[in-house]
Amino acid sequence: MPEALLDGLRVVEISSYVATPLCGLTLAQLGADVVRVEPLGGAPDRTRWPLAGSGTSLYWTGLNKGKRAIAVDLAAEVDRHRVADLIVHGGPCVVVTNTARHPELTHAALSARRPDVIHALLEGHSDGGAAVDYTVQAATGFPLVTGPADVPGPVNHVLPAWDLAAGLYLATGLLAAERRRLRTGRGASLRVALEDVALATAGNLGYLAEAQVTDHERTKSGNDIHGTYGRDFTTADGVAVVVVILTERHWTKLLAATGLTAAFAALGDSLAIDFSGEAARFEHRDLISALLARWFATTPYADAAKALDAHRILWQRYRTFAEVGRDPGLADQELFAPLDQPGVGPHLAPKSPLVVDGTRLDPSPAPSVGEHNAEVFGPPKREADR
């Protein structure tokens, strides 16, 4: 096995919940030595649902695979100082945390002891106020355009998308700072606010500019994809699928697959609609959907799948988490490998989505509370030496 990308990099993670642990997980999966720091007894997210029958959190063990864990009394200055020692002594280290509560572990305190320290702080609001994924999504606009048009009110997404993105921004920022440190020897202080991640994304995707420079008010459109053609259908035997038509080639193929080429040619002629353009397909989506829905409603899933695949349409059957997790094919996917997690038992766990030189590191178990105290801090000193 050649050297992993992040061999020799230590990450000290003083974290909880999703974003900062995901940052640490992402770096661990690329070969970093990630040490998660917890209060005595374990961090509050250790019990978060979903749980295994044993009471072990499947969420916690999922987000903390392959890390080492130390438990210290974070309320005690002497213990906070011991954690700071791990950061300022030894090899190159980066720090990721979701708290500014511990005076010895801030960027200011650490950089006074070791000028080249790299430290990343996750905040809720950029003014330092508290926020979580659910409050940030409400602040941003997405829940009010999600869900069926006839269901009033917000529909929250279940995926903690802002936590996910924030964790990956933190990883990106730490590695960008590590590049500068390798080239110039300088450390860095990084901050990411969960709210900024959401607002920046709404800006980058054009939603906020649309509000500023046009009169358009984005409203709910169910599962219709905005600005192009795509939505869900149900087959004769009740299977839900999504179909996405991005290009003129997709469109032509879809008509061939569903036997609707002549029908749309006639419709286009009589109504003077050119369906070959993406904007026209979006504008006339209800007309398109009415004809496609008839085809799906009269076609069994197996036949629909065959026709769509034969014409290389972008489509997918909706699956439940249970179907995905219990799919016998999961074991054959190179993303997954067997993991025997204490408290959970043997199951298939994901590696990194990043394949490096054709390979990825196998998953390792998440640690128990304080599992690596002795290993990280070394043998306990005798009283006389303290």
Q: Tell me whether residue 269 is one of the annotated catalytic residues.
A: no
What is the smallest separation between the CB atom of 114 and a copy of itself, expressed in angstroms?
A: 16
Write a three-state SS string for 325-352: HCCHHHHHCCCEEEEEECCCEEEEEECC
Cα–Cα distance for residue pair 373/73, rounded to 1 Å: 12
Q: Identify the residue whose tokens are 């149900």.
A: 234
Whichever of 183 and 386 has its CB closer to a copy of itself, that residue is: 183
To the nearest whole angstrom, how small is the minimum distance from the Cβ of residue 38 to a copy of itself?
Answer: 16
The secondary element (H helix, E strand) that includes residue 177 is: helix 161-184
Give min distance, CB of 67 to a copy of itself, in A: 12
Q: Which of 33, 133, 163, 196 is catalytic?
A: 163
Contacts of 170 (CB under 8 A, 6+ apart): 19, 20, 23, 96, 120, 122, 190, 192
Nearer to a copy of itself, 83 or 349 (CB): 349
Q: Which is closer to a copy of itself, CB of 34 or CB of 166?
A: 166
* Least CB distance to a copy of itself at residue 81 (A): 25
Q: Quick one: which of 223, 291, 209 has its CA closest to 257?
A: 291
CB of 283 to a copy of itself, least distance (A): 11
Cβ proximity to a copy of itself, 75 vs 205, nearer residue: 205
Interatomic CA distance for residues 226 and 229, integer angstroms: 8
Residue 191: φ, ψ to 5°? -135, 140
CB contact burial 187-203 (16+ within 10 A = b; e otherwise): bbbbbbbbbbbbbebbe
Q: Do 229 and 292 form a contact (C-beta atoms < 8 A)?
A: no
Q: Are strands 33-39 and 10-14 parallel, antiparallel or unpaired?
A: parallel
Nearer to a copy of itself, 276 or 333 (CB): 333
Q: How far apart are CA 173 and CA 175, in angstroms?
A: 5
Considering the complex, what minimum distance in angstroms separates the CB of residue 159 from a copy of itself? 5
Smaller CB distance to a copy of itself: residue 7 or 77? 7
* Least distance between a copy of itself and beta carbon 75 (Å): 16
Phi, psi of 207 (to 5 degrees): -65, -40
d(CA 86, CA 91): 9
Task: Tell me whether residue 201 or residue 373 sits nearer to a copy of itself (CB atom).
Answer: 201
Contact 46, 60 (CB under 8 A): yes
Nearest CA to 190 out of 127, 124, 117, 136 is that of 117
Burial 147-175 (b: 16+ CB within 10 A, else e): beeeeeeeeeeeebbbbebbbebbbebbb
Mind telling me the catalytic residues?
Answer: 163
